[in-house]
Structure 1
Amino acid sequence: MFGKSRVEAFSDGVLAIIITIMVLELKAPHKADISELTELFPKFFSYVLSFIYVAIYWNNHHHMFSTAERINGKILWANTHLLFWLSLIPFTTSWMGETNFSNISTMLYGFILLMCSIAYHIVQNSIIRQQGKNSKLKKAVGKDKKGLISPFLYTLGIIFGIFAPAVSMIIYTGAAILWIIPDTRIEKMNFFE
């Protein structure tokens, strides 16, 4: 087992790059015309939603790792797995914006969100297992209702993407709003350094 500072720094760097890649996909209109901005709405909305998701993962990742004093190789690999799925968010964000929320791009976006959620739970469970029966993180997350609801919502969004991508986007936005509401479970446990 070893310290957690390198994995936290690496994760912060990857998430910063993900946000940078997404914002570079936004291109300014060539004309000073409001209709040009209207055409950018799908790209801008995709960016805003994805930025919120990346911010949610950064925030929760920080909180989760604040409970860990040391980490092991399993946690490192689980974290790398999470970063892999998060790194695909810019691609699906761009594709949704370019295709005006097409069925397939909206479904793929939901699939990536689902995989990010699963990967996050793998990291969380790896930390809980490493901490043992008196796991600080397990005490803090409790039954993890949000964590159980989210994969269900992403799956529902994927299904609706087949025939109603607009409904999928509403579901994905709702799931993001669920996580934007501050979650103070870990903060209440006073784990912060």
Structure 2
Amino acid sequence: MSSAMPYWTGARMASETHQAPSTARIEAFSDGVIAIIITIMVIDLRPPVDAIDAGLVTGVLGPMAPKLASYALSFVIVAVMWVNHHELLRLAPGASRRLMWWNVNLLFWMSLIPMTTAILGERVFLPAAQILYAAVGFACATSFTLLRIHILRQSGSLGNRAAYLSIARSLVGPLFYLAAIAGTFAGPYVALVMFCSVMVYFLFPLFR
């Protein structure tokens, strides 16, 4: 008679009980939410009625330039967050309940990006529109930083120098958006420059 235990009993069962669940479902859910966010932003790009009759440039591209620019800016920002989110979740040892809630917190603030993008596209030089866009950007960047800290703590690498450097670099995002809010009182272009700067800051390291 064989002394081998069935795979669903004994040590095998104990091992599977204590095994941390995969983050695959978190990634899949996040990917779905981010895809919807981008879709909503695209749907908002509706040309004026009968605009094509006035010509492609003067009737469509001209009036829609602020909306197109706002969409492009937000698209790149969301794309950068998606890539970094994918890389960050690879460090997580498992899908804990706290990780799920920190992730949902990030997705909540990201889901507001289409709204602020539409408002900024309609009133690109309006201080209130710029402040609202910056406020949601600040919330997204801060939530991403908190998610990073949690994952680094969960993985046991929070005390490493590389971990502190990644947190410090992540904190640059909230600082950019705070500077953008302050910049709205200096002129209509300062906040827009800050929005582009934070995009460039986080975009270029992705190609290294």
Letter in 2 for 1:167: V
Is 1:86 the counterpart of 2:105? The answer is no
CA deviation profile, 1:97-146 (whole Å, cap 9, x unmatched)? 112331101111001110001100111111112112x469x665441243
Which residue is 2:120 aligned to? 96
Is 1:107 the counterpart of 2:131? The answer is yes
Question: Contact (CA 8 Å) 2:119, 2:129: kept in 1 or not?
Answer: yes
RCO (CA 8 Å, sep 6+): is it higher in 1 or 2? 1
Letter in 1 for 2:33: V
Matching of residues 169-188 of structure 1 within 5 Å: 169-183=192-206
Is 1:18 the counterpart of 2:37? The answer is yes
Letter in 2 for 1:5: A
Normalising by structure 2, we get a TM-score of 0.81
Normalising by structure 1, we get a TM-score of 0.87
Letter in 1 for 2:170: G
Where in structure 2 are there 5+ consecutive unaligned residues? 1-19
Cα 1:146–1:135 shift into 2, 3 Å: closer
CA deviation profile, 1:122-176 (whole Å, cap 9, x unmatched)? 11111112112x469x665441243122211110101112342321011110110
Which residue is 2:10 aligned to? none
Q: CA RMSD in A?
A: 2.0
CA deviation profile, 1:18-57 (whole Å, cap 9, x unmatched)? 0000011111352224222111111000000000010011
Q: 1:41 aligns with which of 51, 65, 68?
A: 65
Write out the 4+ residue segments of structure 1 that deviate beyond 6 Å after TM superposition.
none
Identity among equivalent pairs (%):
35
